[in-house]
Amino acid sequence: MSKKYYIKTFGCQMNVYDSSRIADMLQNLGYEEAASPRQADLVIFNTCHNRKKAAEKVFSDLGRLYNIKQERLAEEGRDMIIGLAGCVVQAEDEQIAKRAPYVDFATGPLTYYRIPQLLEEIGRKKGVSLIDTDFPAIDKFDYLPDNQSHGGCSYLAIQEGCNNFCTYCVVPYTRGAEFSRPVEAVLAEAKRLVAGGTLEINLLGQNVNSYHGEDSAGKERNLAYLLRRLSEIDGLKRLRYTTSYPADVDDDLISCHRDLSKLMPYLHLPVQSGSDRILKAMNRRHNRDDYIRVIDKLKEANPAIGLSSDFIVGFPGESDADFQATLDLVNYVKYIQAFSFKYSRRPGTPAAVYENQIEEKVKKERLEILQNLLFSYQLRFNTESIGKTMPVLFDMKGRHKGQLIGRTPYMQNLHAELGKEYLNKIVPVKITGANTNSLSGIAEGI
């Protein structure tokens, strides 16, 4: 009987991508995917350290997993290997040994390509916990097996790490310095994905638009160049990129939003705050006006573009006036989608030791006000979609039989009554219903 694996992913899209690469590696070793941790011989948690809640959840879920492991051993005599990957490992290696000593191996986001080797070592030395948190000087992508297409939409990591050091953020410490993959490696991976059935590629990077990978002649190329090359791939229908840093959006990239029909009219461009004072304290390289200038240029390049953002409320020192500036910015941009968070103190980051921390109660109130405003714009945009026909890429089965879930060009989730033969296909859909988080519609011409 072949061995089974189960991977649980926490956090960002980069982790989703890394988990799919880990799955490819395990499948190459003969593992099959298990439906639940209880049925798995190997369970890996791919973890997130961005906010305290996410990191704490890893430890509570690990405790539950350890109980399942013991049950499985007692009832079926089958053991389970528990592995950790991702940013918690990089940031909290000592805590893992203390709080979850039963973890068999742990590997950071830059070293997970060594998982096959770690599994072999575990086979040799039972009961030894292996924690691997190097920042290796090599390109992990060179050491991963070729990835496979897992459906109509695929992520493709083109850049990793960050040199920006926003004062609240752990990423520069967990994912290390910025690194861009070479152009040809990205194109080869994209072609492989498309040959395997991918219609939409979402280019990933913590700072995807500061991409500066080398081409085959050793010349550094920017994201705009890469997007143009990728859009030439036959069979590839849609392109996206995330997450962008506002100060690195240049005119060349903006022109892609005018010229490339495959580039979807949606951009996630996190601003974090609308207050210049707070942006400065966050060490962001843009102020409110810089950000608005970029948004205006993007809208000029493609008037149909919809914007999304991340926000942090209750950053140390945030006054009512600073918070109001954030609300004003939301009213100006009218985001069609957004993610907002209460500031969370992350050990080792500069802002964690700032003295003017904001009370939890105030953070909570501000988050609620901001989210209500953001949701109102999101609902307005979704409601205005009713009556329009949009191309929808269906990539998931719905909750009910005969239903599929997909995404519009604007990243709205949409469900429609549609047979599974339309899975991983783009279908024109007339929008008939909308709420804050999703749309419903009827497929046309079918």
- Report the interface residues with ligand 5AD, using CB under 6 A: 50-51, 168-169, 270, 272, 310, 312, 341, 343-344, 346
245 binds ligand SF4 (CB under 6 A): yes
Q: How far apart are CA 283 and CA 397, in angstroms?
A: 43
Q: Which stretch binds ligand SF4 (CB under 6 A): 11-19, 66-74, 151-159, 161-169?
A: 161-169
The nearer residue to ligand 5AD, 169 or 295, going by C-beta atoms, is 169
Closest among 446, 439, 435, 377 to 408, alpha carbons compared: 439
End-to-end CA distance of the chain: 43
Partner interacting with residue 62 (select from ligand SF4, ligand 5AD, none; CB below 5-8 Å by kind): none
Least distance to ligand 5AD, CB of residue 52, Å: 8
Residue 382 to residues 192, 206, 303: CA-CA distances in angstroms? 34, 28, 17
Instruction: Report 182-241 residues binding ligand SF4 (CB under 6 A).
Output: 206-207
- How many chain residues are in contact with ligand SF4, going by CB under 6 A? 10
Residue 238 to residues 3, 260, 431: CA-CA distances in angstroms? 36, 10, 20
165 binds ligand SF4 (CB under 6 A): yes
Cross-strand partners of 433 = 440
The nearer residue to ligand 5AD, 52 or 64, going by C-beta atoms, is 52
Partner interacting with residue 50 (select from ligand SF4, ligand 5AD, none; CB below 5-8 Å by kind): ligand 5AD
47 binds ligand SF4 (CB under 6 A): no
Q: How far apart are CA 148 and CA 193, in angstroms?
A: 6
The strand pair at 4-9 and 32-33 is best described as parallel
Partner interacting with residue 190 (select from ligand SF4, ligand 5AD, none; CB below 5-8 Å by kind): none
The nearer residue to ligand SF4, 165 or 300, going by C-beta atoms, is 165
Q: Counting beta carbons within 10 angstroms of the beta carbon of residue 317, is it exposed (0 to 12), middle (13 to 18) or buried (19 or more)?
A: middle
The nearer residue to ligand SF4, 207 or 340, going by C-beta atoms, is 207
164 binds ligand SF4 (CB under 6 A): yes
Helix intervals (H) in 84-168: 87-91, 93-99, 115-124, 140-143
The nearer residue to ligand 5AD, 19 or 424, going by C-beta atoms, is 19
Closest among 64, 114, 65, 110 to 91, alpha carbons compared: 110
The nearer residue to ligand SF4, 246 or 441, going by C-beta atoms, is 246
Partner interacting with residue 206 (select from ligand SF4, ligand 5AD, none; CB below 5-8 Å by kind): ligand SF4
Asked if 132 and 114 count as a contact pair (C-beta separation under 8 A), the reply is yes
Least distance to ligand SF4, CB of residue 27, Å: 30
Asked if 174 and 162 count as a contact pair (C-beta separation under 8 A), the reply is no
Rounded to the nearest 10 degrees, the angle between the axes of helix 288-301 and helix 320-333 is: 10
Q: How far apart are CA 145 and CA 113, in angstroms?
A: 9
The nearer residue to ligand 5AD, 51 or 72, going by C-beta atoms, is 51
Binding residue for ligand SF4, selected from 42, 62, 171, 418, defined by CB under 6 A:
171
166 binds ligand SF4 (CB under 6 A): yes
The nearer residue to ligand 5AD, 185 or 369, going by C-beta atoms, is 369
Q: How far apart are CA 295 and CA 286, in angstroms?
A: 12
Binding residue for ligand SF4, selected from 162, 223, 358, 416, defined by CB under 6 A:
162
Q: Which stretch binds ligand SF4 (CB under 6 A): 52-60, 88-96, 168-176, 351-359?
A: 168-176
Would you state the torsion angle of the CA atoms of residues 278, 284, 286, 292, taken in this order, to the nearest 10 degrees? -70
Of all residues in the shown chain, the one whose CB is closest to ligand 5AD is: 310
Length of the chain: 446
The nearer residue to ligand 5AD, 162 or 392, going by C-beta atoms, is 162
- The site for ligand SF4 (CB under 6 A) is made up of 162, 164-166, 169, 171-172, 206-207, 245
